[in-house]
């Protein structure tokens, strides 16, 4: 048997707010993701493990002054509601797992020194990005989340996709936006190849892709000037 691959230090990426976390772990998913609660000084970090790159697990988190057993999510007529509770009343909710002992490798500062930046490929427009996100539907999997963050040259929207089964083959596909996304989802028409931002996800005949806003540029993505924005 081959030797097991060593797990590297985790990377914590801060989201813009708790609605982003609720949308990430619950919206459009077959089953909500587990949320881990890490105690850090006088606050709690609620984090979701989404993927692993170059052996480093990637957690997306928000800071919270409240703790509970569940993170509830609801989207009704375009209005999102996310809350922490001990007895869920919403149809969609993610269990919150309280972590007692944090491994020494889990530096919660959010950065790992010497981490390799991922290669970046700019696509022509948001339609091209939507095609990459929605591709997993062919395998009956949830579409990949589209991350959006502000940069020195404006807003960037992008997806982390792999060319094969190796986590070292990940590439950040991105496009430039003229302004901040004015919706929490992208409504994508596969027949007309049209996209638009929206908060409503009930209309039939479209594929919906969730947009997750980050508080700062993603640490795995090269700086703006290197992306030639």
Q: Domain extents for the chain?
A: 11-99, 119-227
> How far apart are alpha carbons 144 and 160 in whole angstroms?
8
pLDDT value of position 105 = 61
Transcribe 103-135 into DSSP letters. Answer: -TT--TTS--TTPPPBEEEE-SSHHHHHHHHHG
Full-prediction pTM beyond 0.95?
A: no
CA-angle at 15, arms to 40 and 38, nearest 5°: 20
Could you give the CA distance from residue 55 to residue 57 in angstroms, rounded to a whole number?
Answer: 6
Report the pLDDT value the prediction gives residue 164, as an integer from 0 to 100. Answer: 73
SS3 of residue 19 by DSSP: helix
User: What confidence score (pLDDT) does residue 225 get?
Assistant: 42
d(CA 132, CA 121): 12
The structure tokens 């950040």 sit at 172
Distance of alpha carbon 118 from alpha carbon 38, whole angstroms: 27
Encode the chain (229 residues) as per-residue pLDDT tens digits.
444 566 778 888 999 999 999 999 999 999 999 999 988 777 889 999 998 887 888 999 999 988 899 999 999 999 999 999 999 999 999 999 999 876 666 655 555 566 778 889 999 999 999 999 998 877 778 899 999 999 877 899 999 988 776 666 788 999 999 899 999 999 999 999 999 999 999 999 999 999 999 999 998 987 644 444 4
Q: Do 223 and 212 touch, CB atoms closer than 8 A?
A: no
The predicted pLDDT at position 55 comes to 81
The pair of three-digit structure tokens given for residue 197, joined into one six-digit string: 């931002």
């Amino acid at each position: 048997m081959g030797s097991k691959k060593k797990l590297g230090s985790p990377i914590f990426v801060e989201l813009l707010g708790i609605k982003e976390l609720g949308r990430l772990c619950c919206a459009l998913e077959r089953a909500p993701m587990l949320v881990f609660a890490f105690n850090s000084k006088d606050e709690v970090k609620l984090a979701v493990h989404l993927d692993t790159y170059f052996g480093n697990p990637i957690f997306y988190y928000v800071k919270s002054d409240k703790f509970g057993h569940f993170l509830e999510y609801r989207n009704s007529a375009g209005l999102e509601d996310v809350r922490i509770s001990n007895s869920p009343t919403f149809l969609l909710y993610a269990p919150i797992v309280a972590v007692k002992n944090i491994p020494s490798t889990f530096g919660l500062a959010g950065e790992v020194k010497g981490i390799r930046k991922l290669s970046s490929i700019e696509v022509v427009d948001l339609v091209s990005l939507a095609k990459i996100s929605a591709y997993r539907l062919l395998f009956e999997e949830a579409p990949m989340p589209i991350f959006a963050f502000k940069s020195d040259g404006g807003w960037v929207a992008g997806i982390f996709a792999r060319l094969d089964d190796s986590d070292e083959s990940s590439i950040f596909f991105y496009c430039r936006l003229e302004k901040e996304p004015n919706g929490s989802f992208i409504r994508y028409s596969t027949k007309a190849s049209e996209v638009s931002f929206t908060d409503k996800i009930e209309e039939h005949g479209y594929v919906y892709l969730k947009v997750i806003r980050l508080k700062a540029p993603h640490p795995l993505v090269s700086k703006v000037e290197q992306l030639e924005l």
